[in-house]
Amino acid sequence: MAEQAEAIKTIEGKPAPKGASLPVQQMAENLRHRVMVMPAGRRNWLLASIVFLVGAVTAMVWYAGRPDWRVLFNGMEARDSQQVAQELSAAGLTYRMSADGSSVEVPADTIDKARIEVAAKGMPQSGRMGFELFDKPNWVGSEFDERVNYQRALEGELEHTIQTLGVVRSARVHLVLPQPSLFSAQEKVAKASVVLKLKRSNVDAAEADSIRSLVAGAVDNLSPADVVLVDADGRVNLKPQSATMEAGDVEQALEAKLVSLLEPLAGRDNVRATVRVSYDQSSEEKTDEVYDPTQVAATNMQRSEQSSTAAAKASGVPGTASNTPAGAANGAVQGSPAATPSTPPLLQKDAPVYPQGGAQGQTVKQESGTYAVSKHTTHLEMGPGRVGRITAAVLVNDKLVTEGTGKSLKTVWKPRTPDEIHRLEELAQAAVGYDQKRGDQVVIQNMSFSSNAPEAPAPILDRVSDGAKGFLRTQPNLVKTLVLGLCGILLVMFVLKPVAQQAIETMKEPVMLADGAGSHQEADAMQHHHLDMVDHEEALGSGGMDEMGEEHAMTPQRQMSAPVHHAPTPIQRRGKTSAQAIFDSVAEHIREDSMQSTRVLQSWIAPVEKAEG
Q: Helix 2-13 to helix 23-36 angle, to the nearest 10 degrees? A: 150
3-state DSSP assignment of residue 251: helix
pLDDT tens-digit series, residues 342-373: 444 444 445 555 555 555 567 778 877 777 77
Reference 430, options 418, 440, 439; nearest CA is 440
pLDDT band (50, 70, 90) for residue 603: confident
Alpha helices in 111-178 (DSSP H): 111-120, 143-163
Q: What is the pLDDT of residues 540-575, one digit of tens each?
A: 444 444 444 444 444 444 444 444 444 444 444 444
The fold of 245-282+380-455 is: GMP Synthetase; Chain A, domain 3 (3.30.300)
pLDDT of residue 394: 93
Please give the torsion angle defined by the CA atoms of residues 211, 212, 214 and 218, in that order, rounded to the nearest 10 degrees: 140
Asked whether 109 and 129 are in contact (CB, 8 A), the reply is no
pLDDT (0 to 100) of residue 18: 45
C-alpha to C-alpha distance for 157 and 150, rounded to whole angstroms: 11
pLDDT in tens, 248-302: 778 888 899 999 999 988 888 889 999 998 877 777 888 888 887 777 777 777 8
Q: Which residue has the higher pLDDT, 504 or 612?
A: 504
Contacts within 8 Å (CB) and 24+ apart, 541-547? 541/596, 545/599, 545/603
Comparison of pLDDT for 16 and 423, the residue scoring more: 423
The predicted-structure confidence for 444-484, as pLDDT tens digits, reads as follows: 999 888 777 766 665 676 767 777 777 666 666 676 777 77
Q: Who has greater pLDDT, 90 or 531?
A: 90
- 572: amino acid identity, one letter: Q
Domains 135-241 and 245-282+380-455 share a fold: yes
Cβ-based neighbours of 570, under 8 Å, separated by 6 or more: 585
- Give backbone dihedrals phi and psi of 580, rounded to 5 degrees, phi first: -65, -40
pTM above 0.85, yes or no: no
pLDDT band at 423 (very low <50, low <70, confident <90, very high): very high
Residues written for the chain: 613
Please give the Cα distance from 100 to 78 (Å, whole number).
8
Task: Indicate if the pLDDT at residue 20 is higher than 60.
Answer: no
3-state secondary structure 18-84: CCCCCHHHHHHHHHHHHHHCCCHHHHHHHHHHHHHHHHHHHHHHHHHHCCCEEEEECCCCHHHHHHH
What single string gives the DSSP state of each residue in 504-572? HHHHHS--HHHHHHHHHHHHHHHHHHHHHHHHHHHHHHHH-GGG-TTGGGS-HHHHHHS---SPPPHHH
Nearest to residue 52, comparing CAs of 401, 536, 496?
496
Percent of the chain with pLDDT over 90: 7
| Structural domain boundaries in the chain | 2-37+510-612, 135-241, 245-282+380-455
Specify the CATH number of the domain 135-241: 3.30.300.30
- Strand-pairing partners, residue 354, are 316
Task: Read off φ and ψ for residue 299, nearest 5 degrees.
Answer: -90, -25
Radius of gyration, CA atoms only, the chain: 63
